[in-house]
Amino acid sequence: MILTLAFRNLFHDRVRLAVTLIGILFSIVLVAVQLGLYLGSSRMITSNIDNARGELWITAFGAKSFEDGGLLLHSAERHQALAAAGVAEVIPLVVSFAEWRRPNGGSTRVVVVGTDPEDGGLVPWSLTDGTWLDVKSPDGIAVDKSYLAELDVKGIGDTAQVAHGRVRIKALTEGVRSFTQAPYAYMPISRARHLLGAPGDATSFYLVKLQPGADVESVRRDLKSRFESAEVLTAEEFRDRSLNTWLFQTGAGVALIGGALLGLLVGTVIVAQTLYSSTKDHLAEFATLRALGSSSGYIHKVILGQAGLSAVIGYVLGMIIALAVVYASRGTPLPMVMTPWLAAALFAVTIFMCAISALSAIFKVTKIDPAMVFSK
Amino acid sequence: MKREPVLEAVDIVKELGSGAAKVQALKGVSMALRPSELTLLMGPSGSGKTTLLSILGCILKPTSGDVRVVGESTIGMSAEQLATVRRAHIGFIFQSYNLFPTLSAIENVRIALDVRGQSGFKAAARAEEVLRDVGLGHRLRYHPGNMSGGEQQRVAVARAIAASPSVVLADEPTAALDTENGHAVMALLARIAKEQARSVLVVTHDPRTLPYADRVVRIEDGRIVGEERRPEGLDAPEITDLAKRRKAHA
């Protein structure tokens, strides 16, 4: 009967129900969009780190992110690392911003990523047109389809000037986007060094693969003791550092999270107001329940039932809109991401928001005087 | 043989308001309600009838004195403990019915069972049974807005007796009803008192209720000023003239 009464109270006033649901819906969509963008941004920022196969990263001291490695490491560090117990492979990566000259004039920035996938380090993923063998052919590179217009090229076979050399698009990826909006240009490591005018052993990062059974922490300690101007980070630490740099030091993440919190706040206030006014309208009924001998817990459950039902209906409607926004954002430079985990978290947040909103109404009925049932 | 009271007020004093506005609504009231007895509590407006009903129903706490429910003192009980006492022993009927407008007749009765922890098919069957008992078998799914005042009050009666309380307290149950419905509701309450061995207290100033009383308690200015009891074997309507007869005999 608690849910029946909660349901009837809720649907008794359709206008108020609509206001409640709009409040929750607005809140859910806003939070979903903000967190979806945050998640999408996070994925873009860490996609190269997540797709690299190595337990440890050797970076130049103070490297802030994948794009910020510089070309400060050399073969000496590689040899030192290979000498450490437990290290199986040390794979170089070259990553650097470079100028892309558009064929029809003007220029834009790209992130040159030099890698040799045969080493088993960073293997370009989501190659939809062409293969890595095509990229290895003279001047070959791979870029993402979504940036073709930005790069002023039409597709495979088109050429452009990057830094000190000419490149030809030989393969295309799909969905490999860059948070900095400077497209990733994947190519063999030697070509990357050539384009960037870097020495033959200049390297941004070394990916360290461990021997089976080796302890990550002890290998890391050993490696750290060997380098003076390089850092040794776990993949997780490097991810966190990259996220921190791009999302929090730039303020982008704070803005996204702030927007999500604002959405929650607005939703909570709207739901709290409507639940409070609904409770006030049904005060005589709650007093009757109290006079009939109901515990205060029973009445609280009715109010929480109203809040819970509002949350479920509002969540379903909000998620339908949020998923439509996710779908619409697929082809944009900053696509939203919705995962089962985020959907579950949003549901929990909605329930929590509505439960918090119910507090003012609960305080109101806590003070209820059952003697009011005798007022004529 | 005199039966033990199920509800007893002992020297109840109730002060309302504070400071200069403080008034003593009840000034040392004692009364007892026994099973199978329909008692009328009559008195003019402001005499303390409803205050006494609220205290007997464990809704208001007395300033001093004690209310004993089936022999148990309620002194010092918290609001939650008093609610437990109400759940276990007391059924209420209100002047304005106080039904839930969004619930059907059967749901209004079921909710009274639900607050007592009785739910499911058994509760639904019990709710239907009491509604049929008060003559509303054909109105089970009707909402209060689609029922007459008399029918609504009968739903309220069904709700009050559904959980088989020892005492039913009714506040002006006929005040909003026409003569026919007023008699029907009082007949129902009298039957509940007799057939189900419950104690029924009706607060009223409606003289139409007198024929149904086993006992009439009169209250004025916060004090019990008189009590008349229908002698054994006296037909119900005759109690209306009880006071006159006693004067005549005297």
Angle at the Cα of A264 (from A262 to A267), degrees rounded to 5? 110
Angle in degrees, 0-180, between the axes of helices B105-114 and B120-133, rounded to the nearest 10:
130
Per-residue model confidence (pLDDT) at position B173: 85
In the structure encoding, which two tokens stand for residue A104, read together?
Answer: 């029809």
d(CA A142, CA A156): 9
Task: Decide if pLDDT at B243 tops 50.
Answer: no
pLDDT tens digits for range A288-326: 888 888 888 898 998 889 888 988 998 899 999 999 998
Cβ contact, residue pair B102, A12, below 8 Å: yes
Cβ neighbours of B114 in A, within 8 Å: 1-2
Tell me whether B100 touches chain A (CB under 8 Å): yes
Q: Name residue B93's beta-bridge partners.
A: B170
Per-residue model confidence (pLDDT) at position A94: 92
pLDDT tens digits for range B82-104: 999 999 999 998 888 889 999 99
Per-residue model confidence (pLDDT) at position B141: 93
DSSP B3: P
Per-residue model confidence (pLDDT) at position B233: 56
d(CA A300, CA A21): 21
Q: What is the 3-state secondary structure (H, E, C) of A214-226?
A: CCHHHHHHHHHHH
DSSP A334: S
Tell me whether A366 touches chain B (CB under 8 Å): no
pLDDT tens digits for range A189-237: 999 999 988 888 889 999 999 999 889 999 999 888 888 888 899 999 9
Provide the residue type at A11 as one letter: F
Cβ neighbours of A371 in B, within 8 Å: 54, 59-60
Q: In chain A, which residue's Cα lies nearest the Cα of B175?
A: A376
d(CA A326, CA A336): 5
Residues 6+ apart with CB under 8 A from A320: none
Per-residue model confidence (pLDDT) at position A376: 53
Tell me whether B114 touches chain A (CB under 8 Å): yes
Give the distance from residue B26's alpha carbon to the nearest chain A alpha carbon, in angstroms.
Answer: 16
Tell me whether A4 touches chain B (CB under 8 Å): yes
pLDDT tens digits for range A171-200: 999 888 888 889 999 999 999 999 988 888
Per-residue model confidence (pLDDT) at position B250: 43
Cβ neighbours of B52 in A, within 8 Å: none
pLDDT tens digits for range A104-155: 888 899 999 998 888 878 888 888 998 888 988 889 999 999 898 889 999 8
pLDDT tens digits for range A46-71: 989 998 888 999 998 888 888 887 87
Task: Decide if pLDDT at B240 tops 80.
Answer: no
d(CA A105, CA A158): 15
Q: Parse chain B into domains and list their residue ranges.
A: 7-101+148-249
pLDDT tens digits for range A87-97: 999 999 999 99
Q: Which pLDDT band holds residue B246 (cuts at 50, 70, 90)?
A: very low
Per-residue model confidence (pLDDT) at position B248: 52
Give the distance from residue A15's alpha carbon to the nearest chain B alpha carbon, in angstroms.
Answer: 16
Long-range contacts of B127-130 (CB under 8 A, 24+ apart): B127/B158, B127/B162, B130/B158, B130/B161, B130/B162
Q: Name residue A114's beta-bridge partners.
A: A94, A187
Tell me whether B81 touches chain A (CB under 8 Å): no
Task: Decide if pLDDT at B242 tops 60.
Answer: no
pLDDT tens digits for range B186-208: 888 888 888 777 899 999 888 88
Residues 6+ apart with CB under 8 A from B78: none
- A320-353: b or e for each residue (b if 16 or more CB lie within 10 Å)? eebeeebeebeeeeebbbbeeebeeebbebbbeb
Tell me whether B167 touches chain A (CB under 8 Å): no
Residue from the list A4, A295, A371 with its beta carbon closest to the beta carbon of B54: A371
Task: Note which residues in 12-41 of chain A have CB less than 8 A from chain B.
Answer: 12
d(CA B48, CA B222): 5
pLDDT mean over A318-343: 87
Cβ contact, residue pair A289, B95, below 8 Å: no
Size of interface A-B (CB pairs under 8 A): 77
For an interface test with B, the pick among A288, A367, A368 (most B C-beta atoms closer than 10 Å) comes out as A288
Q: In chain A, which residue's Cα lies nearest the Cα of B124?
A: A1
Task: Decide if pLDDT at B239 tops 80.
Answer: no
Residue B1 CB: number of other CB atoms within 10 A?
2
| Beta pairing, strands B167-171 & B199-204 | parallel
Tell me whether B27 touches chain A (CB under 8 Å): no
Cβ contact, residue pair B87, A288, below 8 Å: no
Of B67, B15, B25, the C-alpha closest to B45 is B25
Q: In chain A, which residue's Cα lies nearest the Cα of B100?
A: A285
Tell me whether A341 touches chain B (CB under 8 Å): no
Provide the residue type at A284 as one letter: A
Of A244, A208, A43, the C-alpha closest to A125 is A43
Tell me whether B142 touches chain A (CB under 8 Å): no
Long-range contacts of A151-159 (CB under 8 A, 24+ apart): A151/A100, A151/A102, A151/A108, A151/A110, A151/A183, A152/A102, A152/A103, A152/A104, A152/A106, A153/A103, A155/A129, A156/A129, A156/A130, A158/A103, A159/A103
How far are the Cα atoms of A130, B52, B56, B172 from residue B210, in angstroms, in the given order?
100, 20, 21, 13
Q: Is A276 helix (H, G, I), strand (E, B) or coil?
A: helix
Per-residue model confidence (pLDDT) at position A127: 86
d(CA B184, CA B173): 11
Cβ contact, residue pair A289, B111, below 8 Å: yes
d(CA A230, CA A68): 14
Task: Decide if pLDDT at A25 tops 90.
Answer: no
Cβ contact, residue pair A374, B80, below 8 Å: no
Per-residue model confidence (pLDDT) at position A142: 93
DSSP A73: B
pLDDT tens digits for range B63-74: 999 999 988 999
**Is the whole model's pTM more than 0.80, yes or no?**
no
Of A243, A9, A14, A295, the C-alpha closest to B88 is A295
Main-chain phi, psi angles of A276, to 5 degrees:
-65, -45
Tell me whether A376 touches chain B (CB under 8 Å): yes
Residue from the list A9, A284, A294 with its beta carbon closest to the beta carbon of B83: A294
Tell me whether A298 touches chain B (CB under 8 Å): yes
Residues 6+ apart with CB under 8 A from A88: A209, A210, A211, A214
Q: Tell me the H-state helices in A52-197.
A: 75-82, 132-136, 148-151, 189-196
Beta strands in chain A (DSSP E): 56-60, 87-101, 107-114, 127-129, 140-144, 159-162, 165-173, 184-187, 205-210, 230-234
Cβ contact, residue pair A289, B115, below 8 Å: yes
In which residue are the tokens 């982008």 written? A252
H/E stretch holding B181 reads: helix B179-195
CATH of domain B7-101+148-249: 3.40.50.300
Per-residue model confidence (pLDDT) at position A239: 92
Per-residue model confidence (pLDDT) at position B234: 54
Per-residue model confidence (pLDDT) at position A93: 92
Tell me whether A289 touches chain B (CB under 8 Å): yes
Give the distance from residue A261's alpha carbon to the nearest chain B alpha carbon, in angstroms.
Answer: 36
Tell me whether B94 touches chain A (CB under 8 Å): yes
Q: What is the ipTM of this complex?
A: 0.83
Cβ contact, residue pair A2, B114, below 8 Å: yes
DSSP B61: -
The pLDDT mean for chain B works out to 85
